[in-house]
Chains A and B, each alone.
Chain A
């Protein structure tokens, strides 16, 4: 079974600085999808960025970018120019393309709580 591990329960970053959140996963599949979701205190789950495993190019969305290392099964999130509004829980998630079995189900890591210091 696939697993997702976030080894940093908490992280802290100074406003305007850069921070990297780590995520590793375990799978025997070659094609899959990876996501980072943000959960602010409102508890709403917000998609930050996604990566298709078949794409070599790392995904970017404004200040958010990923470092996808397929061979190492690593999927880290880099937040540049951190802002106070970035403070939240961040969850890494994996999805198998196996529509017959998982039907697009997400497997989540336990999350990293990010604090941003002014």
Chain B
């Protein structure tokens, strides 16, 4: 049981390049989340998907898009990367209403030059 997996683990991009961060969970969870973690800022919510087929903006959605491909997978896309998007990105999942705990993936470290 892998839990929440993320790929890649580390990526370097040039300004203006695009890329997609992948996230998958094998716990049959309904809700999935994308966070970014910057030094001294804690984790901030970018986008979330309460259930398959729905997505909503979080606290810091600008410059990102998401796709809930199916119940297992939730991807985060940077269309035109900027240095301000250099961060560590975490995906998380939660079973759904009645379940309070989010489970996190190992993170993706992104460096935009």
Contact = CB atoms under 8 A, between A and B. Distances in A.
Contact of A110 (B42, B48, B101): B42
Contacts of A4: 42
How would you classify the secondary structure of chain B's contact residues: helix, strand, loop or mixed?
Answer: strand
A78 to B, nearest CB: 20
A35 B94 CA distance: 14
Interface stretch (A63-71, A79-87, A99-107): A99-107
A106 B45 contact: yes
A108 B44 contact: yes
B31 A104 contact: yes
A4 B42 CA distance: 10
Nearest to A111: B42
A80 B109 CA distance: 33
Contacts of A37: 104
Interface string A6-48: 0000000000000000000000000001010100001111110
Nearest to A35: B101
B106 A42 contact: yes
Contact of A109 (B42, B50, B88, B103): B42
Of the candidates B40, B100, B107, the one having the most CB atoms from chain A within 10 angstroms of its own CB is B100
A105 B58 contact: yes
Interface of B: 31, 33, 40-45, 48, 50, 56, 58, 88, 90, 92, 94, 96-97, 100-104, 106-107, 109
